[in-house]
Structure 1
């Protein structure tokens, strides 16, 4: 492993420009043992919502990183690319010639190379707008993941071949160059989280003339809990192992979602590592 540049590259790190596209950046939490090159580790990527509090997301997963010896990768998808004044494009993965799923894959590959990590897949968590990203990343890149956790997405994409992207998956190959890999999708355990009091609808209601308006844009339900229930049914029908948890008394708050995500990700990480050991022994 190449030597680290300094103390800001272990623990809660500085912010790095993505090598392949420096319009994007990321920060890390590197557990002490891994930073000293002592043990192998895995990666969990955590994706911010619209406020872009990406360093806070990283910090809230610091204890998880130390306990389970994983590198936390927290990307920043900035506002203002391709005249995206509200910064929503990343949630839908492709706009203005940018493939946001590929941006994350490139960042993860960069981190993997930096720390000589050999695990080909990673865990993924997102809240609100970040959960929209995770929802759609899961559909496009399931082979890259060992687990996905989504907290309170405002809009969802369901497995539905009767509706076009982004509402459904009918034209996913035309949009992204590859069909939906249902077999790989079924191999990814998924957790869905939403607060019982997360009932505001104004921000998440699509209106005709909006940047992402399309027919049936609001068909999954009015509120986040309703939309997440629709996504739950869709994934279950597709054969995905999916858990759906309503956090009683919680509003639209990332903190409880993160705390509920940690046990799920820990359990799936353990299973992922067990499977990797079995594969190596064969």
Structure 2
């Protein structure tokens, strides 16, 4: 935690930040308040989820929450490396502080079933795990902890997180006030003639959910990818792989091509899509964040006008 964030969090919890030329800050009125300031406000510690302790999360919580402020929520989903959860917690911190938005970053470890699989969370179901339900449980948990109403939230994900975000939006559009889909390597089209994950024909059988076209059409959606994000080694599905099915590569060869195909599928269903093709950008999540922040700020401004 940087000095400014620590001081802000301590002040929010009732403590006193240290002067620049003084000894370390005096303790808050009790150890519990000081611990909350350090671990629960600003850039937080990493917590095990109560809904399933195999999975973890961290947050950025605006210090004003410690004084009772009500804020919105952004769920930011990591990619395959998993390390981007910290990039997103810290990368959205300034945005969250000045726009009254908390940031929840779930952490889904590789090989949670003991098989070394990297990509199960991207498709929302893996063995007995429903990752969409895990996230919904995390949201309920942190909403109760911080006294917030987060019945609806925004979601952003890049790469593997982009997989997760657009599929979550298909299953749970009523939970979202915005969705930002970054550089998804593979896409699920709103195709009623193909099964999951290429299409949505078997959603009721697979997830117990009927696709709600009208609800999805009410969600502002951004799709963002670099025009130089052209490597295909990781996104080309091959027969015999865990994710192979007929039509797996039909949406295009590269990430920009596949995201364009997804945008058309969403638009054909009545969804308004903002498509940001970033010039000169490869598969770089950090360079995507300014466009994502612009999109979220626009949606927040419209949403808060009522």
Q: CA RMSD in A?
A: 1.5
Partner of 2:172: 141
Output the CA distance in 1 between the equivalents of 2:215 and 2:115. Answer: 32
Provide the C-alpha distance between the structure 1 equivalents of 2:77 and 2:115, rounded to a whole number of angstroms.
18
Q: Are 1:95 and 2:126 counterparts?
A: yes
Which residue of the partner structure matches residue 268 of structure 2?
237
What corresponds to 1:279 in structure 2? Answer: none
Post-superposition shift, 1:36?
A: 2.6
The answer (yes or no) to whether the contact 2:154–2:178 under 8 Å persists in 1 is yes
Deviation at 1:8, TM superposition (A): 1.7
Indicate whether 1:47 and 2:74 are aligned.
Answer: no
Q: Distance in 2 between matches of 1:87 and 1:272?
A: 36
Structure 1 residues 43, 84: closer, same or farther in 2, change over 3 A? farther
**Counterpart position of 1:248:** 279
SS at match of 1:180: coil
2:265 is the alignment partner of 1:263: no
SS of the equivalent of 1:82 reads coil
Is 1:188 equivalent to 2:212 in the alignment? no
Distance, in Å, in 2 between the alignment partners of 1:202 and 1:264 is 30
Pair 1:221 & 2:221 matched: no
Tell me, in whole angstroms, the C-alpha distance in 2 between the residues paired with 1:119 and 1:95.
26
Deviation at 1:84? 4.3
Q: Residues of 1 paired with 2:37 and 2:150: CA distance? A: 25
Matched with 2:195 is: 164
SS at match of 2:294: helix
| Equivalent-residue separation in structure 2 for 1:84 and 1:36 (angstroms) | 45
User: Which residues in structure 2 correspond to 1:68-107 (within 5 Å)?
Assistant: 68-107=99-138
Residue of 166, 169, 184 corresponding to 1:153: 184
Match of residue 280 from structure 1: none
**Alignment partner of 1:272: what SS?**
helix
Report Cα offsets for 1:167-191 as digits up to 9, x if no partner: 0111111111111011111110100
Displacement after TM superposition at 1:78 (Å): 0.6
2:63 aligns with 32
Q: Secondary structure at the match of 1:103?
A: helix
Output one character per residue of 1:204-256: Cα deviation in whole Å (capped at 9) or x when no partner.
00000000100000000010010001001000000001111110000000011
Structure 1 counterpart SS, 2:44: strand
What CA deviation, in whole Å up to 9, does each residue of 1:104-163 have, x standing for no partner? 000011111111112420000000000000010000010100000011000000111111
- Matches of 2:199 and 2:205, distance apart in 1: 13
Q: Within 1, Cα distance between the matches of 2:167 and 2:103?
A: 20
Q: Note the C-alpha offset of 1:274.
A: 2.8
- Contact 2:87 2:286 (C-alpha < 8 Å) held by counterparts: no
**Which residue in 2 is equivalent to 1:211?**
242
Q: Secondary structure at the residue paired with 1:143? A: helix
Deviation at 1:55, TM superposition (A): 1.5
> Which structure has more RCO (C-alpha within 8 Å, separation ≥ 6)?
1
Gaps of at least 5 residues in structure 1 are 276-282
Give TM-score scaled by structure 2 length: 0.87
Contact 2:196 2:202 in 1 (8 A): yes
For residues 270-281 of structure 1, what are the structure 2 equivalents within 5 Å?
Answer: 270-275=301-306
Farther-moved stretch of structure 1 (49-58 vs 221-230): 49-58
Task: State the alpha-carbon separation in 1 of the partners of residues 300 and 120 from structure 2.
Answer: 30
> Which residue of structure 2 lines up, in the alignment, with residue 57 of structure 1?
88
- Aligned positions, number: 274
